[in-house]
Amino acid sequence: MATATTAVMSLQVPSSSVRSSASSFLSPSNAPAVFFVPRLFPKNIGSFKISSGRCRGGIRCLLAPEKDSEYCTKVSRNANIAKLQAGYLFPEIGRRKVAHMQKYPDAQVISLGIGDTTEPIPEVITSAMATKAHSLSTIEGYSGYGAEQGDKKLRPAIASTYYDGLGIDEQDIFVSDGAKCDISRLQLLFGSNATIAVQDPSYPAYVDSGVIIGQTGGFQTDVEKYGGIEYMRCSPGNGFFPDLSRTSRTDIIYFCSPNNPTGSSASRNQLTQLVKFARENGSIIVYDSAYAMYISDDSPRTIFEIPGAKEVAIEVSSFSKYAGFTGVRLGWTVIPKELLYSNGFPVAKDFNRIVCTGFNGASNISQAGALACLSAEGLKAMSEVVGFYKENTQIIVNTFTSLGFKVYGGKNAPYVWVHFPGQNSWDVFAEILEKTHVVTTPGSGFGPGGEGFVRVSAFGHRENILEASRRFKQMYK
C-alpha cells in the first residue's frame, strides 16, 4: 500500500498558459505563475499532470496523479460536496495572503479581509473563564457534561438581555459553539428536500451548507449561481433589501441584518414586509443577528421585535464580534415554541433532538465567560469594544469617501462595502494586495451580486487601520 506524505509543491507554469482574472495577483504577466499546493500524495505516486480552469475567485489548479494509487476504498465521494466551487472563501483568502507574504517576505501585510476580531477580550470576561477553569481542578467545582441546550443561568440571562418583553424565554434558547455551527445544524433540521432563498450577496455559509446537505442543483457557471436556490438581489438600487414581489416562495429564507458583507441594516418597515411575506408563503426565516450590537439607529436588533415573527422565524447570534469570542466559540439560536411545522409539530423539539444527538453542549468555560458578558460590567466592556471597531469603521469610510468612492455600510456594522464599478472584484482584491499589502475581501466571493465591490473589515488594531488608510490614499490619490 502506498504511504501518504504531506507535500508542498511549487509548480512553475508560464502565465500565458493560465487564463484567470486573478493571474496578475500570482505573478507579473511576463513571469511564471507559482502555485503552492499543499496536499497528501503517496510517495510513489509517479508523475503529475496539471489542469487549469476558471473558477470564482481565480485559478483552479488541480493536481492529479497520472496513475491511481495502489488502494482505494469502495466508498463513493459525497456528490453534494463535489458540487462546491473551489475553496471556502476565507481560507482561499488566507492562502493568497500566505502566497503574497512568501513573495514579499519583508512587507508588513495588514489583514482587513477575514472578519476576525483583534482586540483583547475584556478582563471581566476572561477572569470569569479563568475562575471556572480553575474550579474544574477541585472536587467542589468540577462538572462534566452540561445541559445540551445550555447553562441554566446563561439561557435566562440571554433571554432577559436581548429579548426582554418580546415573549422569548429560556426554553426557546439553545446555547452553542457559534452561529456558523448552528447554521449547519439547522440545515440538518430542514433536510435535503427544503428549498432555500439567500440574500445576494450573503455570508457564504448559508449557500455552502445548503449545497452540502443536498438542497441545491449544480453550479451554473454562466450565471455564477447554484441551481435550486432563490437569490434575492440586494443592491444600492433597492436599498439592499430584496424585491419580495419578485421573489419565489421557498421553505427557508436566510436573512442577515446588519448584513455581512454589505454592512446595511433592515428597517422596521422592511422586516415587517419580510415577516408578512414569510407568513403568506408559510416559510421559515433564519435570521442572523450576529452584528446587532453594532446598530446605532432605530433599526430592529432582533427579528422578534416584529409582530408575528415568532410563528415564522428562527434567530442565530453570537458573542464572537461583541466580546472577541471568535476563538472561544459561543453563540445561541432562538427557536420560539410558537414555530410549528406544517403538521403542527414544534420545530424546537426536533432541533433539541439534533443537539442532543450530535452536540454535547457548549464548553462550560465559554459559558462562564458568556455569563460574565451579560453582567452590567460585561455589557459595558463589550459596548466599549464595539465602539472601538465602529471608530475604525468611520476611519475607513472617511478614507474611501475622500478618494471619491461610493461606499455603503459602516454605520450599523463593522464592514465597509466599497464600489468599484465595471471592475472584477478579484482583480481589485489582487491589485490592492499587490500595491498596498492590505488584504480585503472580493465582493463576488459572497455571490454574483457582490461583483464590482470589495468588503473592507474594521476589525484591526488602530495603528493598522490608520496605516492601511494611508496606503489606500497613496494608491488612489
Domain boundary among 355, 377, 399: 377
Is residue 256 within 8 Å of 199, Cβ to Cβ?
yes
CATH number of the domain within which 277 lies: 3.40.640.10
Is 279 domain-assigned? Answer: yes
Mean predicted confidence (pLDDT) in 102-130:
96
Do 455 and 317 share a structural domain? no
> Tens digit of pLDDT for each residue in 143-178?
999 999 999 999 999 999 999 999 999 999 999 999
- Separation of alpha carbons 293 and 161, rounded Å: 12
The answer, yes or no, to whether residue 274 has pLDDT greater than 80, is: yes
Domain boundary among 362, 377, 392: 377
State which amino acid sits at residue 179: A
Do 219 and 130 share a structural domain? yes
377 Cβ contact list (under 8 Å, min separation 6): 124
Do 258 and 304 share a structural domain? yes
The answer, yes or no, to whether residue 65 has pLDDT greater than 90, is: no
Do 323 and 416 share a structural domain? no
| Distances 115 to 20, 40, 458 between C-alpha atoms, Å | 26, 29, 8
Do 136 and 115 share a structural domain? no
Q: Which domain holds residue 405?
A: 110-120+381-476
> Tens digit of pLDDT for each residue in 206-229?
999 999 999 999 999 999 999 999
pLDDT at position 85 is 84
Q: Is 350 helix (H, G, I), strand (E, B) or coil?
A: helix
Is 101 domain-assigned? Answer: no
Do 261 and 369 share a structural domain? yes
CATH number of the domain within which 436 lies: 3.90.1150.10
Measure CA of the first residue to CA of the last residue in the chain; give whole Å: 60
Domain boundary among 377, 392, 410: 377
Do 410 and 290 share a structural domain? no
- Separation of alpha carbons 10 and 32, rounded Å: 11
Range with lowest mean pLDDT among 36-45, 149-158, 325-334, 416-425: 36-45
> Which H or E run includes 200?
strand 196-200
Do 128 and 115 share a structural domain? no
C-alpha cell at 416: 465597509
Is 336 domain-assigned? Answer: yes
Do 245 and 141 share a structural domain? yes
Do 295 and 170 share a structural domain? yes
Count of the separate structural domains present in the chain:
3
Is residue 285 within 8 Å of 279, Cβ to Cβ?
no
